Amino acid sequence: MHIVFAASECVPFAKTGGLADVVGALPPELVKLGHEVTVYLPFYAGVRERLEKEAGAARSGERGEGDRGDGEWNWAVRSITVPFEHYNRFVGVVDGGKREGVQFYFLDCPELFDRRELYGPKGGEFPNNWERFGLYCRAVLEAAKVLGVPDVFHVHDWQASLIPVYLRTTYAGDPALNKAGTVLTIHNAGYQGWYPPATTQRLLFPWDVFTKDKLEQFDTFNFLKGGIVFSDMLTTVSRKYAEEIQTAEFGEKLDGVLLSRAADLRGILNGVDYSQWDPATDGHLAAHYTPKDLSGKKECRADLLHAFGLDKVPETMPVIGIVSRFATQKGFDLVARIAERISQREVVVVALGTGEPLYERFFREWAFRHPDQVAVQIRYDDALAHKVEAGSDMFLMPSRYEPCGLNQIYSLKYGTVPIVRATGGLDDTIQEWYAEIGDGTGFKFGGMDPEALLGAIDRALEAFQDKKGWTQLMRNGMARHYGWEGPAKEYAEVYAEVARRRN
């Protein structure tokens, strides 16, 4: 089958979150299964710069880095016309070539995409994101008519959600596209793309799509809702999250429409890229280690503590690591309410991340009050993130909701015991530790009670004192495998079901 991936980000070209990791890792696994896969991305400024660097390296000094001009791109399509209510825009398609068997195309509309940020300045959004991603969706369909119509369009999150809407409305009579199926993956239902009602006519949709059973929600034009209503099948990134988003607590006001599509909704757990996240080979680490020989983890712990300025921590004192966006969604309001009580325990906390000013300030002040126990770096550093995973004894993820989560899976591989809230992918991937039978991989708590979080931390601290049991707990986690092979087969089954329905 031919599958087109339509997404607003993909590693290594553009990333703000886990969506990029999925779109970067899943297509090569599908190619291994014998499928043809094409990925369409906006031609952001960062993507252009990456391609320029690649071109400069390939030319080996024939010209300086960044000297490649627009006229030298390998154009797959020179110009596609995308109409709006009172004007047209024009999109070129840059051929990004094949990478691991996956064909990449970049949609070039400089006035909309040639920007440093993907969605807007920090803490905000570009006011014309409706136009940017409305154009993106229609341009993907027009480009596919020239470059190859797939059996299935696999669209991701709200930014690509208008593709199935266009297919079943504006393009419903187009013979080139009418057999193509659609799958929408919801990576986070909290981000939906809400815009004024006038967006309907600005994007040239018929007004009959702006109804409560289609795209209208609380008198807004909702991109994600449109994708949910018009897609052939839906997926999300863990079994538990697929259940949760059908409830009022986690459905972000879309629980009703998601419940109505329950028969077409699948929860498929994300995989991780073990070529990048494996303590036996990780180039960021001070030492390597395996389940059979854990001695290198001790060196990684010392290296981590040094990186955070905590050089005099006894071996008997466990290290809790945090790598996260600092936000209420990640449960840091719970942590703030018990921070002083955590500091009364024999434990060290190291935190890496950026986010909401409230929580950046909380971590700074916590570290200021307890400089020998708490250290924070307000930034994101990929190499340091690897060091936190390897050098910590425990990893804290108290998220209010977590569609899938990747860090808890990395932690398992690195023998770093997760402490998580039982939600979404965290609940699917972590099993409570039972010392009496040596079974389990971490510690979980339910509800939104900070006392429950503190209880999970205390259970972990108690278990840490039993070195034999703790070693077994570490090895249990390291033995778990969450690669992309299994999820790719599940997605292939979804594509096959969509193709059967369309044919």
Give the tens place of pLDDT for each residue, 424-464. Answer: 999 999 999 999 999 999 999 999 999 999 999 999 999 99
DSSP assignment letter at 497:
H
β-partners of residue 397 are: 420
Residue keyed to tokens 């971490």: 442
Answer yes or no: is pLDDT of 481 > 60.
yes
What are the distances in angstroms from CA 235 to CA 188, 366, 406?
11, 40, 17
Mean pLDDT of 299-309: 98
Residue keyed to tokens 């949910």: 228
Phi, psi of 384 (to 5 degrees): -70, -30
Same-fold call for 2-271+485-502 versus 295-479: yes
pLDDT of 154-196, one tens digit each?
999 999 999 999 999 999 999 999 999 999 999 999 999 999 9
Q: Give the DSSP letter string of 39-50.
A: EEEE--HHHHHH
What are the distances in angstroms from CA 324 to CA 16, 332, 341, 366, 396?
12, 10, 21, 16, 10
Answer yes or no: is pLDDT of 68 > 80.
no
Q: Based on the number of CB atoms within 10 Å of its own CB, is 34 exposed (0-12), middle (13-18) or buried (19 or more)?
A: exposed
Answer yes or no: is pLDDT of 2 > 90.
yes
Side-chain-side CA neighbours of residue 197 (13 Å): 9
pLDDT of 340-375, one tens digit each?
999 999 999 999 999 999 999 999 999 999 999 999
Coil, helix or strand at residue 320: strand
pLDDT of 402-423, one tens digit each?
999 999 999 999 999 999 999 9
Packing angle of the helix pair 467-479, 450-464 (nearest 10 deg): 110
DSSP assignment letter at 163:
H
Question: Residue 316 corresponds to which tokens in the numbers above?
Answer: 């008997």
Specify the pTM. Answer: 0.92
- pLDDT, residue 67, reads 42
pLDDT of 100-157, one tens digit each?
999 999 999 999 999 999 999 876 899 999 999 999 999 999 999 999 999 999 999 9
CATH number for region 2-271+485-502: 3.40.50.2000
Spell out the domain ranges in the chain: 2-271+485-502, 295-479
CATH number for region 295-479: 3.40.50.2000
Indicate the Cα dihedral angle 392, 393, 397, 402, nearest 10°.
Answer: 90
Whether 233 and 183 have beta carbons less than 8 Å apart is answered as yes
